């Protein structure tokens, strides 16, 4: 487990931690912001633990897919091209016309543009909605979709974390549990944080085959906003759980320097890859 | 004429080489890549040590493979592979895992290859795998002694009692021997299949049992016929028959020792007094069987000693092999040989019985013989209750 080499799988998880896709931005005549995103479904082998290859179905070549980001009220266009071997779609959570809901299969070689206004603000997710669902989601077609409120949130170190799992022998049970697709990524390479800095984590659960996943932080407490809504009742705690598709925002400050562990409080998930460290300097 | 004859041999050969060359160069026209990677990683033996586990593995699949991750009881764990994690076809390796195992608990070890193929090994009840030390060596030998030598020698001690039997009763005892040998034959074959199934599939453990059993059977019969023609004597000497039976039973007892030794080594069975008593009862009939052919002769004491050692001592060797260096494929081979040898003894005794009754114008399946045969089978069946674990 203690392995300091930065393999391709780790680099993917690290990149997804802080990379947000704001799309190509233009301003419409009525003053509305238009964001256009390129989304390509491709079959790709992903390294999900050191030396383990997983034959994935991906959006833009990573599991999870890119973290799309916009502001409430923006007009969004997702130009979707299916270059995979199976029909796929993008089903976004949020409020939009039903014909943009991603229930229609886009066949290999075809494309489709999903267009809708970004609302409501909060942390949404997106995933493929082609049957069989469990297979399409588990193979890697999912990601975070952040709609920022019009009044910007307080500046912070923003981290993107998608909890997921991988079933290698297709027995309906995951062999590995990860954050951003690589087992023990942030255990071997702790996430660097400054003392007293506000940290905001966009956390979602897209683990297939298990009912629940959880997030537990050592030696500290955090504020949890379900679905990223400030108007939802928040919690001040050190452990939260999310069912499949549930997501929320964690805000936390660290007042002591040192190493803080975080992991799923399902011990099995933790020991199978869902474990990491913050290093407060 | 001779040239023509040679050409008829060569034509198919040349064509065969042509076809193989074509297929190798152009493929067989069917899909080249399998849908999923075919990787076969065999876990041949798991040794439980003070610091954790040692797994002896081999790659018996068609392609090279790389061991990338190890899980113990659903937890990713650090490991080392010697000489290296990449195994070529038929390469062997040793996976060392430091793990704080719990005495008596089951432990499941998963080896995951680069392509996500999982091989699972199980330690049914963790306990230190016995090292080859003098005291272990003696202890295992003692188990074999109790299970093999003691009961057979005790069975042979019934000889003076059986000596007073009439010709017909002696034949009844021989029929009893056939019954118990039939039980041993089927049991040995079944054990062979069971152990053979644990061997890497490329070695086809079941076929090894069949080949070893049938060849042993036919070779022994062939050797027997050759001897008879050469010496122009009729059949076996009684002592020769007893010797043959002792050898066959010896191989069976080797298999029994193998099973006991490996079960103890794997922590699957505890050496209980009950089990020792069971084996003594179960194997005592083997001694009676060996003594049966000698009833019409006057053997010497040292003949009995020799027979007892030949039939019983392999149990000692079996516990050593099973306890310290067990390998399923060798086990399958030995048990196959044992089954073949026992079958040959059944054949010989049955022939003797039938010929003897024919000589005296009697039916060979008499009530006495049928009862003897049935009692032989039933004694083995019921005494086996003590030793099935």
The answer to whether B341 touches B220, Cβ cutoff 8 Å, is: yes
- d(CA A207, CA A226) in angstroms, rounded, equals 18
Q: What is the pLDDT of residue B388?
A: 65
For residue A151, the distance in angstroms to the closest alpha carbon of chain B comes to 44
Paired tokens of A14: 């690290």
* Partners of A36 in the β-ladder: A24, A77
Q: Distance (Å, rounded) from C-alpha B69 to C-alpha B227?
A: 60
- B15 pLDDT higher than 80: yes
Query: Do A264 and A216 touch, CB atoms closer than 8 A?
Result: yes
Q: What pLDDT does B229 receive? A: 75
- B139 CB within 8 Å of a chain A CB: no
> Average pLDDT of B18-33?
77
Please classify residue A243 by burial: count the beta carbons closer than 10 Å to its beta carbon, then call 0-12 exposed, 13-18 middle and 19+ buried: exposed
Q: CA of B220: how far to CAs of B46, B183, B226, B236, in Å?
A: 37, 20, 10, 12
CB contact under 8 A, A51 and B66: yes
Give the list of residues 6+ apart from residue B233 with CB closer than 8 angstroms, or none.
none
* Nearest-Cα residue of chain A relative to residue B80: A1
Residues 46-75 of A with CB under 8 A from B: 49-55
Q: How distant is the Cα of B74 from the closest Cα of chain A, in angstroms?
A: 7
Residues in CB range of B377: below 8 A, 6 or more apart: B179, B180, B182, B183
Cα distance between the two ends of chain A: 24
Portion 172-191 of A in contact with B at CB < 8 A: 175-176, 183-184
Using a CB-CB distance cutoff of 8 angstroms, which residues of chain B are in contact with residue A63?
none
Q: Is B228 on the interface with A (CB under 8 A)?
A: no
Return the structure tokens found at A209. Answer: 């085959």
- Strands A157-166, A199-205: pairing kind: parallel
Query: Could you say which of B74, B75, B116 has the minimum Cβ distance to residue A52?
Result: B116
Q: What is the pLDDT of residue B274?
A: 63
ipTM of this predicted structure: 0.84
- Which residue is closest to A175 within chain B, CA to CA? B74
Instruction: State the smallest CA–CA distance between residue B201 and chain A in angstroms.
Output: 20
A273 touches chain B (CB under 8 A): yes
Provide φ and ψ at A141, rounded to 5°.
-90, 80
How many angstroms separate the first and last alpha carbons of chain B?
A: 68
Return the HEC string of chain B.
CHHHHHHHHHHHHHHHHHHHHHHHHHCCCCCCCCCCCCCCEEEEEEEECCCEEEEEEEECCCCCEEEEEEEECCCEECCEEECCCEECCCCEEEEEEECCCCCCCCEEEEEEECCCCEEEEEECCCCCCCCCCHHHHHHHHHHHHHHHHHHHHHHHCCHHHHHCCCHHHHHHHHHHHHHHHHHHHHHHHHHHHHHHHHCCHHHCHHHHHHHHHHHHHHHHHHHHHHHHHHHCCCCCCHHHHHHHHHHHHHHHHHHHHHHHHHHHHCCCCCCCHHHHHHHHHHHHHHHHHHHHHHCCCCCCHHHHHHHHHHHHHHHHHHHHHHHHCCCHHHHHHHHHHHHHHHHHHHHHHHHHHHHHHHHCCCCCCCHHHHHHHHHHHHHHHHHHHHCCC
Residue with tokens 């039938």: B354
Q: Note the pLDDT of residue B284.
A: 80
Q: Name which residue leads in pLDDT, B274 or B17.
A: B17
Contact: A272, B71; criterion CB under 8 Å: yes
B contacts of A53 (beta carbons < 8 Å): 114-116
Q: Which residues lie below 8 Å from residue B166, measured CB to CB, with a gap of 6+?
A: none
pLDDT (average), residues B227-231: 69
Q: Is B69 on the interface with A (CB under 8 A)?
A: yes
Per-residue pLDDT 10s for chain A (281 aa) are 556 788 999 999 999 999 999 999 999 999 999 999 999 999 999 999 999 999 999 999 999 999 999 999 999 999 999 999 999 999 999 999 999 999 999 999 999 999 999 999 999 999 999 999 999 999 999 999 999 999 999 999 999 999 999 999 888 899 999 999 999 999 989 999 999 999 999 999 999 999 999 999 999 999 999 999 999 999 999 999 999 999 999 999 999 999 999 999 999 999 999 999 999 99
Q: Express as a percent the part of chain B with pLDDT over 90.
A: 27
Tens digits of per-residue pLDDT, B92-143? 999 999 999 998 889 999 999 999 999 999 988 888 887 778 888 898 888 8
DSSP string, A77-142: EEEEEE-SSS-B--EE-SS--GGGSS-SPBPTT-EEEEEEE--S-EEEEEE--PSSHHHHHHTT-E
pTM of the predicted structure, to 2 decimals: 0.75
Contact B116 A51 (CB under 8 A): no
Please list every residue in chain B whose beta carbon sits closer than 8 Å to the beta carbon of residue A268: 74-75
Say which residue, A144 or B272, is predicted with more confidence: A144
Q: Which of A140, A166, A168, A177 to mutate to test the interface with B (most CBs of B within 10 A)?
A: A168
Would you call A195 an interface residue with chain B, using a CB distance cutoff of 8 Å? Answer: no
Query: DSSP letter string over A227-249?
Result: TT-TTSPPEEESEEEEETT-EEE
What pLDDT is stored for residue B44 in this prediction? 84
The whole-number average pLDDT for the span B295-323 is 87
Cis status, amide bond into A169, omega within 30 of 0 = no
Per-residue pLDDT at B86 exceeds 80: yes
Q: Please enumerate in sequence order all residues whose Cβ is within 8 A of that of B323, keeping only pairs 6 or more positions apart, or say none.
A: B130, B136, B140, B261, B262, B264, B265
pLDDT of amino acid A33: 97
Q: Residue B150, preceding bond cis, omega within 30 degrees?
A: no
């Amino acid at each position: 487990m203690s392995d300091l080499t930065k393999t391709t799988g780790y680099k993917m998880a690290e990149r997804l931690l802080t990379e947000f896709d704001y799309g190509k931005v233009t301003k419409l005549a009525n003053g509305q912001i238009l964001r256009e995103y390129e989304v390509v479904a491709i079959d790709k082998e992903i390294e999900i633990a050191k030396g383990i290859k997983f034959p994935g179905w991906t959006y833009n070549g990573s599991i999870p897919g890119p973290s799309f980001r916009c502001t409430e009220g923006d007009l969004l266009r997702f130009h979707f091209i299916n270059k995979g071997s199976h029909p796929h779609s993008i089903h976004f959570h949020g409020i939009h016309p039903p014909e943009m809901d991603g229930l229609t299969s886009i066949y290999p070689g075809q494309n489709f543009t999903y267009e809708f206004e970004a609302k409501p603000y909060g942390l949404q997710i997106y995933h493929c909605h082609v049957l069989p669902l469990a297979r399409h989601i588990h193979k890697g077609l999912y990601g975070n979709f952040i709609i920022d409120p019009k009044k910007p949130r307080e500046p912070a170190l923003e981290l993107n974390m998608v909890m997921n799992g991988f079933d290698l022998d297709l027995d309906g049970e995951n062999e590995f549990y990860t954050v951003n697709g690589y087992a023990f990524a942030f255990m071997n390479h702790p996430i660097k944080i400054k003392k007293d800095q506000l940290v905001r984590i966009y956390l979602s659960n897209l683990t297939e085959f298990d009912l629940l996943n959880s997030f537990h932080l050592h030696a500290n407490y955090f504020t949890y906003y379900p679905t990223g809504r400030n108007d939802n009742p928040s919690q001040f705690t050190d452990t939260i759980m999310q069912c499949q598709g549930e997501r929320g925002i964690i805000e936390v400050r660290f007042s002591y320097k040192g190493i803080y562990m975080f992991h799923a409080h399902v011990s099995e998930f933790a020991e199978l890859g869902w474990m990491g460290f913050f290093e407060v300097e | 004429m001779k040239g023509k004859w040679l050409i008829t041999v060569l034509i198919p050969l040349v064509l065969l080489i042509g076809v193989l060359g074509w297929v190798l160069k152009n493929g067989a026209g069917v899909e080249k890549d399998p849908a999923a990677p075919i990787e076969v990683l065999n876990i041949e033996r798991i040794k439980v040590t003070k610091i954790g586990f040692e797994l002896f593995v081999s790659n018996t699949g068609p392609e090279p493979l790389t061991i990338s991750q190890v899980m113990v009881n659903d937890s990713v764990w650090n490991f080392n592979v010697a000489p290296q994690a990449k195994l070529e076809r038929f390469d062997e390796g040793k996976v060392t895992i430091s793990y704080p195992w719990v005495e008596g608990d089951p432990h499941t070890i998963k080896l995951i290859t680069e392509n996500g193929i999982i091989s699972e090994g199980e330690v049914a009840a963790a306990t230190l795998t016995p090292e080859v030390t003098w005291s272990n060596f003696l202890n295992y030998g003692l188990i074999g002694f109790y299970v093999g030598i003691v009961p057979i020698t005790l069975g042979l001690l019934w000889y003076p009692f059986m000596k007073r039997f009439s010709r017909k009763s002696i034949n009844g005892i021989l029929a009893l021997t056939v019954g118990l040998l039939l039980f041993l034959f089927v049991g040995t074959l079944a054990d062979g299949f069971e152990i053979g199934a644990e061997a890497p599939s490329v070695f086809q453990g079941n076929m090894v049992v069949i080949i070893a059993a049938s060849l042993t059977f036919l070779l022994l019969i062939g050797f027997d016929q050759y001897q008879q023609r050469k010496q122009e004597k009729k059949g076996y000497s009684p002592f020769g028959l007893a010797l043959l039976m002792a050898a066959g039973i010896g191989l069976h007892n080797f298999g029994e020792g193998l099973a006991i030794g490996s079960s103890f080594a794997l922590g699957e069975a505890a050496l209980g007094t009950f089990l020792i008593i069971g084996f003594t009862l179960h194997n005592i009939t083997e001694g009676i069987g060996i003594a049966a052919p000698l009833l019409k002769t006057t053997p010497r004491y040292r003949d009995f000693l020799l027979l007892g050692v030949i039939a019983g001592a392999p149990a000692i060797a079996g516990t050593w092999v099973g306890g310290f260096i067990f390998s399923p494929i060798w086990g399958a081979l030995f048990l196959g040989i044992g089954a073949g040898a026992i079958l040959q003894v059944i054949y010989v005794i049955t022939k003797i019985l039938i010929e003897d009754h024919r000589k005296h114008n009697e039916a060979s399946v008499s009530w006495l013989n049928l009862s003897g045969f049935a009692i032989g089978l039933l004694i083995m069946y019921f005494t086996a209750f003590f030793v099935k674990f």
